[in-house]
Structure 1
Amino acid sequence: MRIFGRARHRPSTDWRLATDRAFTLIGDGRYEDAGALLTRAADLEPWLSESWFNLALLHKFRHDWEQARAAGLRAVALLDRAAGAPDWWNVGIAATALQDWPLARRAWQAYGLRVPSTPGDPGATAEPTGMELGSAAVRLSPEGEAEVVWGRRLDPARIEVQSIPLPSSGRRWGEVVLHDGVPHGERTVSAGGAPSAYPVFDEIELWAPSPVPTWVVLLEAATEADRDALERLAADAGFAAEDWSSSVRLLCRSCSESRMPTDEGDGSARQDPHDHSVPGHPGPLGHVTPGDLWIPERECGLAAPAGLVRGLLDGWVADSPDTREWRDLEEVC
């Protein structure tokens, strides 16, 4: 097989040494030095799709999406297989970051995914919708104080956050995050039958911010039904409440990146645990109320506008003043 007039062959020793050294540097966070080596490798073997795939990968790590798209397109131009290549997935991520929707559609289709057509848009220039990818989990701030939250997949590279993240993550309910393609861990949910597995993807960056602030409030809820009433009230208003006292668990990073069970539910339910990663090994549950013991004082996260949040809480108390109270409301993110 000949490409650009040159017979395809195994990459040279210099190419392999430069590439291996570059990925060692990437692991150390030395992206500039790695970029120089990968550029040299591409100069040595420009007919290898791997040369451009590696550069596209580096630019993805750097969030340099224009360069990631350019290198990714050179990689896919040299592919010798029709579908399923990770090169196309990286092109799809870069195109999504840049909102280059025609290229994103082309990338997902070339990878082998079905992308529904957009009515009234023969040029398929709108963002891909209707792919029905379901629920998944996403690890926010994977290089820092990581937290795994539940979300709704909008397409292969974006998740809309449906949990209320802890303030340490810097993320809000309703935000859309760009995520990587390879899952790191799974969450299994049992709903009366065989467990369903949901992948955990790593966040790359914030794609669309949410205007809805996060609040923390201390509740006095006499029963679980009282707590549930606030969550329903917030949901009915188009926002969210989450009892962090029972929905957040502490996991070490090793456990977080493994296959972990959650409470019974459907993967997208707000009551399913989301995970806050910490050093060491605190055990699978760090924050969840053990057994059947109900503690009336609850730490609750609320996602609601400033002009609505107090009215929600006051309305919740007014429905059952003998069993409900709130105090110490604070905006935290």
Structure 2
Amino acid sequence: MRIFGKGRHRPSASWRQATDRAFTLIGDGRYEDAGALLTRAADLEPWLSESWFNLALLHKFRHDWEQARAAGLRAVALLDRDTGAPDWWNVGIAATALQDWPLARRAWQAYGLRVPGAANDSGEPLGMDLGSAAVRLSPEGEAEVVWGRRLDPARIEVLSIPLPSSGRRWGEVVLHDGVPHGERTTAAGHTYPVFDEIELWAPSPVPTWVVLLEAATEADRDALEQLAADAGFAAEDWSSSVRLLCRMCSESRMPSDEGDGEHLDPHDHSEPGHPGPLGHRTDGQLWVPERECGLAAPASLVRGLLDGWVADSPDSRDWRDLEEVC
């Protein structure tokens, strides 16, 4: 993140020392002290775009979006290239946080992205068709990687059902950073980036429930997930979709767990039948009927969904211990 200027505009030694020290303080969480140093660096070299880029980064870390936007705009005003500068990406994040849609559109276009709509369109930059991605919720706490749909370069709609420890719900929209930390690969060979959440952008009114299922087969489990999806909500078999990863593995390229077959984590050195503390090893031939399932549905609907699921095959399905957890 430390950029020491272009070849023809070398910043002073004092600027470099202040900037180096500031980023050390940022790493220690001492944002106030870092801000004083970066402000001093900007006073020393106000013509240097990196001075304002670094201040914009600091304000982003602090979620001070007004200041991030102001510093970011000063940074891009001093750029010597037309497209692709990370300064514009940070402006886009700040503008999205503030719902300053004209500026967000301008930022993504200046970075080099195609934004649908007319040149004078001032609405949200929707329809960019960025596809799916994974997002790491609460990256500085009990981090959890979930799947979502990218609404634009800075927002993801959460499509998984997060665990209650994340404090997040299905259907919420989170603001995320621009640099991925890790990747997830699917059985089909597709690779998706993992972005870090910055903050909640739009909450979801749909609560999260946990329930214990008796599902005789995978098809029985799948039937509940389909029933919930048909109703416009979601069900997720946490017994197969959740696994514990160390931070190093979480931030690297990992195969996604799609709930079927045998799963071997690279840091799992356990033997079959004797799992290690981070083990997630299952025999693809073995199905355990008792499943812990997450449900995202309104209170007025959730019991009806479960009862309807059981009614379709009462000999192979049952549920108990329904509890709202988020």
1:118 positional shift? 5.4
Deviations 1:16-56 (A, max 9, x none): 11000000000000000000000000000000000000000
- The within-5 A match list for 1:50-199 is 50-117=50-117, 121=121, 127-191=124-188, 198-199=192-193
Counterpart of 2:269 in 1: which secondary structure? strand
Contact 2:265 2:281 (C-alpha < 8 Å) held by counterparts:
no
Structure 1's 298 and 186: CA in aligned 2 closer, same or farther, altered over 3 A? same
Return the alpha-carbon distance in structure 1 between the equivalents of residues 223 and 104 of structure 2: 41
Deviations 1:191-241 (A, max 9, x none): 2799xxx00000000000000000000000111111011000000000000
Contact 1:186 1:199 (C-alpha < 8 Å) held by counterparts:
yes
1:285 positional shift? 7.1
Structure 1's 272 and 326: CA in aligned 2 closer, same or farther, altered over 3 A? farther
Deviations 1:115-162 (A, max 9, x none): 001599478xxx001100000000000001100000000000000000
Structure 1's 82 and 278: CA in aligned 2 closer, same or farther, altered over 3 A? farther
Structure 1's 317 and 275: CA in aligned 2 closer, same or farther, altered over 3 A? farther
1:6 positional shift? 15
Deviations 1:260-285 (A, max 9, x none): 11246999xx9999999999999797
1:190 positional shift? 2.7
Return the alpha-carbon distance in structure 2 between the equivalents of residues 142 and 226 of structure 1: 34
> Which stretch of the first structure deviates more once superposed, 47-56 or 8-17?
8-17
Structure 1's 3 and 290: CA in aligned 2 closer, same or farther, altered over 3 A? closer
1:292 positional shift? 1.7
Structure 1's 162 and 65: CA in aligned 2 closer, same or farther, altered over 3 A? same
1:288 positional shift? 6.5
Q: 2:212 aligns with which of 212, 218, 222?
A: 218
Structure 1's 7 and 181: CA in aligned 2 closer, same or farther, altered over 3 A? closer
Deviations 1:283-324 (A, max 9, x none): 797457432200000000000000000000011111111111
Contact 2:147 2:158 (C-alpha < 8 Å) held by counterparts:
yes
Structure 1's 280 and 161: CA in aligned 2 closer, same or farther, altered over 3 A? farther
Structure 1's 27 and 266: CA in aligned 2 closer, same or farther, altered over 3 A? farther
Counterpart of 1:250 in 2: which secondary structure? coil
RMSD: 4.8
Return the alpha-carbon distance in structure 1 between the equivalents of residues 70 and 105 of structure 2: 16
Contact 1:18 1:40 (C-alpha < 8 Å) held by counterparts:
yes
Structure 1's 186 and 281: CA in aligned 2 closer, same or farther, altered over 3 A? farther
Structure 1's 42 and 108: CA in aligned 2 closer, same or farther, altered over 3 A? same
Structure 1's 63 and 273: CA in aligned 2 closer, same or farther, altered over 3 A? farther
Return the alpha-carbon distance in structure 1 between the equivalents of residues 280 and 96 of structure 2: 36
Return the alpha-carbon distance in structure 1 between the equivalents of residues 250 and 301 of structure 2: 35
Counterpart of 2:322 in 1: which secondary structure? strand
1:189 positional shift? 1.3
Deviations 1:152-184 (A, max 9, x none): 000000000000000000000000000000000
Structure 1's 86 and 330: CA in aligned 2 closer, same or farther, altered over 3 A? same
Structure 1's 38 and 121: CA in aligned 2 closer, same or farther, altered over 3 A? closer
Return the alpha-carbon distance in structure 2 between the equivalents of residues 73 and 166 of structure 1: 38
Structure 1's 278 and 34: CA in aligned 2 closer, same or farther, altered over 3 A? farther
Deviations 1:75-131 (A, max 9, x none): 0000001100000000000000000000000000000000001599478xxx00110
Partner of 2:251: 257
Structure 1's 146 and 320: CA in aligned 2 closer, same or farther, altered over 3 A? same
Return the alpha-carbon distance in structure 1 between the equivalents of residues 273 and 74 of structure 2: 43
1:9 positional shift? 2.8
Structure 1's 283 and 131: CA in aligned 2 closer, same or farther, altered over 3 A? farther
Structure 1's 275 and 82: CA in aligned 2 closer, same or farther, altered over 3 A? farther
Contact 1:138 1:203 (C-alpha < 8 Å) held by counterparts:
yes
Contact 1:8 1:47 (C-alpha < 8 Å) held by counterparts:
no
Return the alpha-carbon distance in structure 1 between the equivalents of residues 114 and 272 of structure 2: 40
Q: TM-score, normalised by structure 2?
A: 0.90
1:249 positional shift? 1.2
Counterpart of 1:3 in 2: which secondary structure? coil
Contact 2:52 2:71 (C-alpha < 8 Å) held by counterparts:
yes
Alignment size in residue pairs: 325
Contact 1:31 1:62 (C-alpha < 8 Å) held by counterparts:
yes
**Structure 1: tracts of 5 or more residues without a match:** none
